[in-house]
């Protein structure tokens, strides 16, 4: 990719100079994901792998909650986010005060918080989860009912797989909520034999129409294991572009919805983050201690 060569060369040199690593979520564009990232994956893999990082600086090519999670797990390292305005509609759907009110309303139910939340919300939780481990986290609590915040659709997806009563919130991913069951049926008609994979942040009727539902890493693994002749990933646009690089023999049908927050991260702002040491992620110490506990607890499930 000649258009990107100058930024890629500069970023690779800056990483060496600054003893830095770049974490990239599966929704980052291919030139970031394949050319400059050191660690890639879903939210769970990024959290797990960030704990093994032996570098002074961590640049998070992802959204703000991912950068906060990296900072929680690496309090002594410098964590940079190239654009601090890279938010998330799920993280914006709930506040710490909302969680406290839910606890008052259901005092005996433990609170499970999706990692797509602010550190302040995590600090009010008993344990975090991702789309990759949510069911295991519910089971680990041995409770008859739990509060699962803030993604209503993820909560409904998990509720369908357990007898545990799940009390949900009303948050939605602005990207995945746009997929419909009609989209899925039209794709099957237009592309006979296509295998449909959906992220659990999609509406339940989309998940019901899919052949498989799972986190971004689970979808990627599915393609590697089953090698479908033709596949569609009901998720963010860059996911198919990134997975397709490793599977030239699989035909990817690519309708997609773009995450405007993920797309705020570019090679240019990764380069200036490393050149100018910005934007440094900070978390209030008392909030960080409680939020770290909820994230670490999830990593031991
Ligand atoms: P994953 O944890 O499955 O990568 O999902 C993160 C996300 O933001 C999905 O929209
Ligand atoms: Fe948040 Fe949805 Fe974007 Fe993921 S895709 S970061 S859940 S808005």
In angstroms, rounded to a whole number, what is the distance separating the alpha carbons of residues 28 and 21?
15
Task: Provide, for the chain, the percentages of residues in helix, strand and coil under a 3-state DSSP scheme, each rounded to the nearest 5.
Answer: 45, 15, 35
Total number of domains constituting the chain: 3
Q: Which atom of ligand 1 is nearest to the CA of 44?
A: 2
Q: Which atom of ligand 2 is nearest to the CA of 173?
A: 2
- Which H helix or E strand runs over 272? helix 267-276
Residues 292 and 162 in one domain: yes
131 CB near ligand 1 (under 6 Å): yes
Residues 96 and 170 in one domain: yes
The pLDDT value given to residue 264: 98
Dihedral class, residue 97 (left if φ above 0, else alpha if ψ from -120 to 50, else beta): alpha
Residues 100 and 165 in one domain: yes
Q: Report residue 101's pLDDT band, with 50, 70 and 90 as the boundaries.
A: very high
Mind listing the pLDDT tens digit for each residue in 24-47?
A: 999 999 999 999 999 999 999 999
Q: Which atom of ligand 1 is nearest to the CA of 262?
A: 8
As a whole number, mean pLDDT of residues 179-185 equals 96
In angstroms, rounded to a whole number, what is the distance separating the alpha carbons of residues 15 and 80?
13
In angstroms, rounded to a whole number, what is the distance separating the alpha carbons of residues 204 and 180?
9
- Say what the pTM is: 0.97
What residue's CA is closest to ligand 1, atom 3? 215
Residues 144 and 185 in one domain: no
239 CB near ligand 2 (under 6 Å): no
Which has the closest alpha carbon to 280: 23, 58, 7? 58
CATH of the domain at 208: 3.40.50.10800
Mind listing the pLDDT tens digit for each residue in 199-219?
A: 999 999 999 999 999 999 999
Residues 97 and 243 in one domain: no
In angstroms, rounded to a whole number, what is the distance separating the alpha carbons of residues 88 and 23?
18
235 CB near ligand 1 (under 6 Å): no
Residues 170 and 98 in one domain: yes
ipTM of the complex: 0.98
Host domain of residue 205: 176-253
Residues 147 and 277 in one domain: no
CA angle, residues 153, 237, 250, in degrees to nearest 5: 105
Residues 138 and 7 in one domain: no
Residues 167 and 188 in one domain: no
CA angle, residues 139, 140, 141, in degrees to nearest 5: 90
116 CB near ligand 1 (under 6 Å): yes
Ligand 1 mean position to 217 CA, how many Å?
9
Q: Residues near 115 by Cβ (< 8 Å), separated by ≥ 6?
A: 43, 44, 47, 65, 66, 69, 122, 128, 129, 130, 295, 298
Residues 290 and 168 in one domain: yes
173 CB near ligand 1 (under 6 Å): yes
Q: Ligand 1 pocket: which of 216, 222, 236, 295 to mutate (most atoms <8 Å of CB)?
A: 216
Annotated binding site: 25, 43, 88, 114-116, 131, 173, 199-201, 216, 259
Residues 83 and 110 in one domain: no
Dihedral class, residue 258 (left if φ above 0, else alpha if ψ from -120 to 50, else beta): beta
Does residue 1 have a pLDDT over 70? no
Q: Using CA of residue 230, residue 236, residue 237, residue 242, what is the dihedral sign? A: negative
Mind listing the pLDDT tens digit for each residue in 248-296?
A: 999 999 988 999 999 999 999 999 999 999 999 999 999 999 999 999 9
Ligand 1 mean position to 2 CA, how many Å?
30
Q: Report residue 157's pLDDT band, with 50, 70 and 90 as the boundaries.
A: very high
pLDDT, mean over the chain = 97
Q: Which atom of ligand 1 is nearest to the CA of 175?
A: 10
Residues 141 and 290 in one domain: yes
The pLDDT value given to residue 42: 97
């Amino acid at each position: 990719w000649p258009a990107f060569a100058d930024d890629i060369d500069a970023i690779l040199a800056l990483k060496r100079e600054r003893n830095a690593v770049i974490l990239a979520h599966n929704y980052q564009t291919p030139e970031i994901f394949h050319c400059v990232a050191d660690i890639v994956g879903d939210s769970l893999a990024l959290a797990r792998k960030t704990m093994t990082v032996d570098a002074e600086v961590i640049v998070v090519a992802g959204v703000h909650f991912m950068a906060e999670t990296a900072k929680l797990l690496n309090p002594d390292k410098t964590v940079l986010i190239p654009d601090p305005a890279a938010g998330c509609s799920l993280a914006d759907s709930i506040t710490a005060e909302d969680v406290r009110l839910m606890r008052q309303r259901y005092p005996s139910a433990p609170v499970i918080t999706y990692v797509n939340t602010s550190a302040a919300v995590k600090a009010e939780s008993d344990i975090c989860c991702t789309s990759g481990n949510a069911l295991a986290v519910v089971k680990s609590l041995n409770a008859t009912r739990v509060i699962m915040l803030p993604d209503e659709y993820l909560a409904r997806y998990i509720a369908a797989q357990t007898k545990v009563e799940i009390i949900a919130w009303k948050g939605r991913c602005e990207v995945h909520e746009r997929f419909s069951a009609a989209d899925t049926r039209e794709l099957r008609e237009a592309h006979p034999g296509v295998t449909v994979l959906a992220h659990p942040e999609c509406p339940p009727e989309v998940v019901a129409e899919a052949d498989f539902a799972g986190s971004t890493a689970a979808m990627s693994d599915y393609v590697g294991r089953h090698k479908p002749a033709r596949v569609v990933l009901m998720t963010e646009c860059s996911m198919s572009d990134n997975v397709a690089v490793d599977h030239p023999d699989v035909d990817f049908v690519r309708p997609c919805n773009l995450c405007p927050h993920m797309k705020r991260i570019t090679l240019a702002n990764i380069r200036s983050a490393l050149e100018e040491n910005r934007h440094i992620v900070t978390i209030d110490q008392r909030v960080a201690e409680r939020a770290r506990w909820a994230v670490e607890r999830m990593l031991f499930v």
